[in-house]
Amino acid sequence: MTKEPEIRDEYVADYEAFSRNGGSGVPQWFEDLRRAAISQFSATGFPTTRDERWRFTNVARLKDTKFALANGERPTLSLGEVKQHVLGAGADQCLVFLNGRYSKELSSIGGIPQGVLAGSLRDVANSGSKRVERHLAKYAKTSDSPFTALSTAFMSDGAFVYVPQNTIIGEPIQLLFLTASAGRPVVAHPRNLIVVDRNAAASVVESHIGLVDGTYWTNAVTEAVVQENARLHLYRVQREGGEASHTATTQSHQRRDSSFALTTIELGSALSRHDINAVLAGQGAECSLYGLTQIQGRQHVDHHTTIEHARPHCNSWEFFNGIYDDDSRGVFTGRIVVHPGAQQTDSKQTNNNLLLSKGARADSQPQLEIYADDVKCTHGATLGPIDEKALFYLQTRGIEAEAARNLLTYGFGVEILNRIEIAELRDQLDQLVHVRLDEGAERRRAGK
Amino acid sequence: MTSSVEHHVSQPYKYGWTTEVESDRVPAGLNEDIIRLISQKKEEPEWLLEWRLKAFRNWLKLTEPSWANVEYEPVDYQAISYYAAPKKEKKLESLDEVDPKVLETFNKLGIPLEEQKRLAGVAVDAVFDSVSVATTFKEKLAEHGVIFLPFSEAVKQHPDLVREYLGSVVPATDNFFAALNSAVFTDGSFVYVPKGVRCPMELSTYFRINAAATGQFERTLIVADEGAYVSYLEGCSAPMRDENQLHAAVVELVAMKDAEIKYSTVQNWYPGDENGKGGIYNFVTKRGDCRGNNAKISWTQVETGSAITWKYPSCLLTGDNTVGEFYSVAVTNNHQQADTGTKMIHIGKNTRSTIVSKGISAGKSQNTYRGQVKIMKRAEGARNFSQCDSMLIGDKCGAHTFPYIDVRNSSAIMEHEATTSKIGEDQIFYCQQRGLSAEDAVSMIVNGFCKEVFRELPMEFAVEAQNLLGISLEGSVG
């Protein structure tokens, strides 16, 4: 039985305490955003599976446990422990967040080019930056998801990245969110804002890594604003702990002739829900979304994507592949909305799912909503086991069944991994995918 | 280009006249007394009345669904008269005794009720408002053991059969509109094809709404016993009126082992005028159950009428190796709204389903495909292929696709594809360059677009469907 109404009230009470203590000292406009968001959350509460957008994902794990705010927790972590998660390329432009809070000691920001701003959202907001005020919480709507509302209500820290006009950053900026021991269930609400100004280009890697096995919850929201003729490639790696829950919204807003790409890799957590909302708000903008999910055990990953073509002559591509082993479950909802007047839209969406075991389950809902006539929109979805004929072929060539199965599965995953332009990150993820495949094969061999 | 398309789209509805017959109707409103009255007028047995009342009590507890992608004025269920029939002096013994005006109506609609004038062997059941007025070829069908009767006759002559299958596919509690239908349904057709019989001719029912301020609530039940085959066609039309009339039907199909049912519909209810005034609300529950192994059910529909359509002909693939098919063309124009599609529920092993849906939207209409493919845990080796294509004509209409794919068995293979596009200017240019007029070019392209579905229709229907499509899209290119 869920104790939802009480839990909801507890979060509202938490908010009151938070706004008096931990969250205090912020500008008035910041406080106003938070207050509006908590009243939104208090009105809706947690979603239920009766809610169309949440039909296939039960968030009972989050409703039945009370998570304390992680802000108060200050675990210690050595630089050495952090280092293994930092990419060599751009190692000196890495912001590290521990349990949702910016850690100056663990971060390394010496390499950030002049003019580029990359730092703690809280510090920048407190310094009176107009840029944060102009963009923060202007894109991710609290009415879209109760978790965005909760994130906005408890907004306190995260990354703020600003790339000024005509600036091109070669190496990726890294945002590393680590969760370390907490002794009790805690929740962090990391909140990121990335603004790439006109004619600028940058790539950002946002990683969520769990260093503990215990129950905790990360509720992240990232807003990305890509101005005219700018380019942003955002990578997102979710490697939370096995008992963790991860809810996230990635919201992008694009101006004329801009280009935005998101590559999201989901490997961790027991329950993960990622809402991706991309708005093409200027003519000639391009948006690409790539996603790879590889899960096992009883893991559950839900991607809910919406691409809004609000202006004519925009293109979007979307490719999501899922590999589901054991009793894991994957959900994909891909909405493409073409607004009235958004002529000459070209949009393609593909969702392929591979079910490796009897217990695995997948649900796919590609959706097209089209209000303009001169458009080209397609979507395709497939679900199924490994092709027995391909498997047989490899076996006739002397490759053992499990090895052959892994080869085919890997080929399925590498389609997405190949989209990663940072070689080191690609190799690292490639390695992780391989480890999982080998573990799966071992289990199967042992089971036979 | 758009203006010409719009001109073509604003073709008047051909079947919009009314027939002056005196009708016998019950007062507007819905309560247990009305249901008792309907049941009494139809001389129904006690169990059926009880069944209706149970459905009604259940309906009171249900709320009208709001998830469909359609908008309409709320229906006042108390303002509708739930039973209207052409007045008659005595029980009809033969076709000669049917009110000539009613006969004339069907002749005008091109529905042959006099057997000598029949089209190549199609048996017709004609339903006028709430009652069936004539059923042809009863004797010939009886020779083969095929029962083809108006529903109310079937209740009297074959109560056991009706009782066994009624509500076994669409329970009275299924959804808001099915419950309403179960409470107040008036007439429809009942078909039973016995073991091993291949029905010698196409069966057909034509539904006509005539009286104002009524609704039509028909109920069709088709049972194909082991190894039987039947092909059934359904057509409909209604007069032009400013009010919205409700049509809430339930169709149940049962296919036993090795049986096959082919169900085709050309739906041409009055769609309302160019400003969206009037028209039929078409809220229909259609479902087939492939109950025995190797059974097959195939739905083919051409949807051109109705102001609002809310319809999902579905297949329960219960038996092993069963096959479900759904072929649909939905055309919307002016202010029409259609939310239609199918559900394929794979329960048995090695079950297969195919979905081909073509949506064409013009004017200010909204056309939605909504479908579900569900593969249950024990449905080993299930296979599905779905294809949903939409075509937009004009920039004020909308085309939407909402497929739900739910797979619970990892041996299932399923594929879904959807595209949305407009008729390419280059395609039209090419045809014009070859000497075709722009209009002919469009008609050719649209027919090509729908061909996969039309070829599934029985011959007479395919011709009718192509003509209908021509009417609703004429002048769409300039």
Query: Could you tell me the CA-to-CA distances from B302 to A144, B234, B311 in Å, in that order?
Result: 37, 10, 12
pLDDT of residue A373: 82
State the average pLDDT over residues A351-369. 91
- The answer on pLDDT for B89 being more than 70 is no
Q: How far apart are alpha carbons A302 and A363 in whole angstroms?
A: 9
Tokens of B94: 């033969």
In a domain, A106, yes or no: no
Confidence of residue B116 (pLDDT cuts 50, 70, 90): very low
Q: How far apart are alpha carbons A194 and A196 in whole angstroms?
A: 7
In a domain, A297, yes or no: no
| Eight-class DSSP state of A209 | E
> Residues A64, A3: contact at Cβ < 8 Å?
yes
> Residues B315, B351: contact at Cβ < 8 Å?
no
State the average pLDDT over residues A386-410. 94
| Eight-class DSSP state of B74 | P
pLDDT of residue B368: 92
CB contact under 8 A, A383 and B404: no
- The answer on pLDDT for B12 being more than 80 is no
Which amino acid is it at B80? I
Residues in chain B closer than 8 A to A343 (CB atoms): 395
> Residues A320, A350: contact at Cβ < 8 Å?
yes
Tokens of B90: 């005595």
Which amino acid is it at A169? I
Nearest to A188 by CA among A158, A144, A160, A223: A158
The tens digit of pLDDT for each residue in B41-83 reads 888 899 999 999 999 999 999 888 888 888 888 888 888 888 8
Domain that includes residue A433, residue range: 386-448
Residues in chain A closer than 8 A to B415 (CB atoms): 380-382
Query: Could you tell me the CA-to-CA distances from A76 to A80, A92, A103, A161 in Å, in that order?
Result: 12, 21, 10, 26
pLDDT: which is higher, B133 or B247: B247
User: Worst-scoring range by mean pLDDT, A277-281, A357-361, B277-281?
Assistant: B277-281
- The answer on pLDDT for B477 being more than 80 is no
Mean pLDDT value across chain B = 83
Q: How far apart are alpha carbons B169 and B252 in whole angstroms?
A: 6
In a domain, A423, yes or no: yes
Q: How far apart are alpha carbons A272 and A277 in whole angstroms?
A: 16
State the average pLDDT over residues A258-269. 96
Residue A261: phi and psi, rounded to 5, are -130, 140
Residue A429: phi and psi, rounded to 5, are -70, -35
Tokens of B349: 């092993």
Q: Tell me the nearest-neighbour CA distance from B2 into chain A, angstroms.
A: 11
Confidence of residue B313 (pLDDT cuts 50, 70, 90): very high
Q: Tell me the nearest-neighbour CA distance from B277 into chain A, angstroms.
A: 22
Nearest-by-CA chain B residue for A369: B400
In which residue are the tokens 């968001």 written?
Answer: A37
CB contact under 8 A, A368 and B401: yes
CB contact under 8 A, A355 and B407: yes
The tens digit of pLDDT for each residue in B205-264 reads 888 777 777 788 889 999 999 999 999 988 877 777 777 888 889 999 999 999 999 999
Q: Would an 8 Å CB–CB cutoff place B417 in contact with chain A? A: yes
**Which of A368, A378, A386 to mutate: most B Cβ within 10 Å?**
A368
CB contact under 8 A, B390 and A368: yes
What are the extents of the domains in chain B? Answer: 2-473
- The answer on pLDDT for B16 being more than 90 is no
Q: Tell me the nearest-neighbour CA distance from B403 into chain A, angstroms.
A: 6
Tokens of B183: 């409470």
**Alpha carbon of residue B299 to chain centroid:** 9
Q: Tell me the nearest-neighbour CA distance from B35 into chain A, angstroms.
A: 33
> Residues A329, A356: contact at Cβ < 8 Å?
no
- The answer on pLDDT for B134 being more than 70 is no
Residue A70, helix vs strand vs coil:
helix
- The answer on pLDDT for B158 being more than 60 is yes
Q: How far apart are alpha carbons A128 and A36 in whole angstroms?
A: 21
Task: Give me the residue from B394, B412, B418 closest to A384, CB to CB.
Answer: B412
Q: Would an 8 Å CB–CB cutoff place B363 in contact with chain A? A: no
Confidence of residue A413 (pLDDT cuts 50, 70, 90): very high
| Eight-class DSSP state of B81 | B
H-only helix segments in B126-225: 138-143, 151-157, 159-165, 176-184
Residues in chain A closer than 8 A to B394 (CB atoms): 373
In a domain, A227, yes or no: no
Confidence of residue B463 (pLDDT cuts 50, 70, 90): confident
CB contact under 8 A, A370 and B392: yes
Q: How far apart are alpha carbons B191 and B263 in whole angstroms?
A: 12
Q: How far apart are alpha carbons B376 and B167 in whole angstroms?
A: 23
Q: How far apart are alpha carbons A53 and A247 in whole angstroms?
A: 14
- The answer on pLDDT for A192 being more than 90 is yes
**Alpha carbon of residue B394 to chain centroid:** 27
CB contact under 8 A, B401 and A340: no
- The answer on pLDDT for A1 being more than 50 is no
Q: Would an 8 Å CB–CB cutoff place B67 in contact with chain A? A: yes
CB contact under 8 A, B400 and A369: yes
The tens digit of pLDDT for each residue in B281-303 reads 899 999 999 999 999 999 999 88
In which residue are the tokens 């751009």 written?
Answer: A90
Task: Give me the residue from B392, B398, B416 closest to A380, CB to CB.
Answer: B416
Q: Tell me the nearest-neighbour CA distance from A308 into chain B, angstroms.
A: 14
Cα torsion B240, B246, B252, B253 to 10°: value is 20
Task: Give me the residue from B405, B420, B422 closest to A364, CB to CB.
Answer: B405
pLDDT: which is higher, A311 or B362: A311
- The answer on pLDDT for B9 being more than 50 is no
Q: Tell me the nearest-neighbour CA distance from A201 into chain B, angstroms.
A: 33
DSSP string, A34-59: HHHHHHHHHHH-S--TTSGGGTT---
Tokens of A218: 């990360």
Pairing of the two strands B366-375 and B337-340: parallel
Residues in chain A closer than 8 A to B403 (CB atoms): 364-367, 381
| β-strand partners of A316 | A287, A347
Task: Give me the residue from A324, A373, A383 closest to B414, CB to CB.
Answer: A383
Q: How far apart are alpha carbons B109 and B126 in whole angstroms?
A: 11
Rounded to two decimals, the ipTM of the complex is 0.72
Q: How far apart are alpha carbons A320 and A422 in whole angstroms?
A: 19
Q: Would an 8 Å CB–CB cutoff place B46 in contact with chain A? A: no
Residues in chain B closer than 8 A to A323 (CB atoms): none
Q: How far apart are alpha carbons A93 and B2 in whole angstroms?
A: 55
Pairing of the two strands A216-226 and A245-254: parallel
| β-strand partners of A225 | A195, A253
In a domain, A300, yes or no: no
> Residues A180, A77: contact at Cβ < 8 Å?
yes
> Residues A192, A148: contact at Cβ < 8 Å?
no
pLDDT of residue B6: 42
| β-strand partners of A178 | A98, A209
Residue B381, helix vs strand vs coil:
coil
CB contact under 8 A, B403 and A384: no
Which amino acid is it at B332? T
Q: Would an 8 Å CB–CB cutoff place B418 in contact with chain A? A: yes
Q: How far apart are alpha carbons A238 and A246 in whole angstroms?
A: 8
- The answer on pLDDT for A254 being more than 70 is yes
pLDDT of residue B276: 78
Residue B471, helix vs strand vs coil:
helix
CB contact under 8 A, A361 and B390: no
Q: Would an 8 Å CB–CB cutoff place B402 in contact with chain A? A: yes
Of all residues in chain B, the percent with pLDDT exceeding 70 is 86
Nearest-by-CA chain A residue for B389: A378
Q: How far apart are alpha carbons B118 and B105 in whole angstroms?
A: 16
Residues in chain B closer than 8 A to A409 (CB atoms): none
pLDDT of residue B306: 85
| Eight-class DSSP state of B117 | G
CB contact under 8 A, A366 and B399: no
Confidence of residue B109 (pLDDT cuts 50, 70, 90): low
Computed on alpha carbons and rounded to an integer, the radius of gyration of chain A in Å comes to 21
Cα torsion A152, A154, A157, A163 to 10°: value is 0
- The answer on pLDDT for B461 being more than 80 is no
State the average pLDDT over residues A18-30. 80
pLDDT of residue A22: 62
CB count, 10 Å around CB of B111? 21
In a domain, A417, yes or no: yes
> Residues A291, A416: contact at Cβ < 8 Å?
yes
Residues in chain B closer than 8 A to A385 (CB atoms): 410-413
Residues in chain B closer than 8 A to A440 (CB atoms): none
Residue A392: phi and psi, rounded to 5, are -65, -45
pLDDT of residue B165: 94
Residues in chain B closer than 8 A to A340 (CB atoms): 395-396
Q: Which of A100-114, A284-298, B13-27, B443-457 has the highest mean pLDDT?
A: A284-298
Residues in chain A closer than 8 A to B402 (CB atoms): 365, 367
Residues in chain A closer than 8 A to B67 (CB atoms): 52
Pairing of the two strands B383-393 and B413-422: parallel
Nearest to B48 by CA among B34, B38, B62: B38
In a domain, A441, yes or no: yes
Residues in chain B closer than 8 A to A381 (CB atoms): 403, 405, 414-416
Nearest-by-CA chain A residue for B69: A369
In a domain, A395, yes or no: yes
Q: Would an 8 Å CB–CB cutoff place B422 in contact with chain A? A: yes
Phi-psi region of A115 (alpha: psi -120 to 50; beta: other; left: phi over 0): left
Q: Would an 8 Å CB–CB cutoff place B385 in contact with chain A? A: no
Tokens of A108: 């390394």
CB contact under 8 A, A373 and B392: yes
Helices and strands counted in chain A (H then E): 10, 21
Residues in chain B closer than 8 A to A376 (CB atoms): 419-421
- The answer on pLDDT for B478 being more than 80 is no
CB contact under 8 A, B416 and A374: no
Task: Give me the residue from B394, B407, B421 closest to A383, CB to CB.
Answer: B407
Question: Which residues does A264 contact at the CB level (< 8 Å), separation at least 6?
Answer: A235, A236, A237, A238, A250, A274, A276, A289, A290, A291, A292, A303
| β-strand partners of B402 | B370
Q: Would an 8 Å CB–CB cutoff place B65 in contact with chain A? A: no
- Stated pTM of the model: 0.82
Task: Give me the residue from B394, B406, B410 closest to A355, CB to CB.
Answer: B410
The tens digit of pLDDT for each residue in B177-189 reads 999 999 998 888 8
| β-strand partners of A132 | none
CB contact under 8 A, A368 and B409: no
- The answer on pLDDT for A12 being more than 50 is yes
Give long-range contacts, CB 8 A cutoff, 24+ apart: A107-115: A111/A171, A112/A173, A113/A167, A113/A169, A115/A164, A115/A167
How many structural domains are present in chain A?
1
State the average pLDDT over residues A2-25. 79
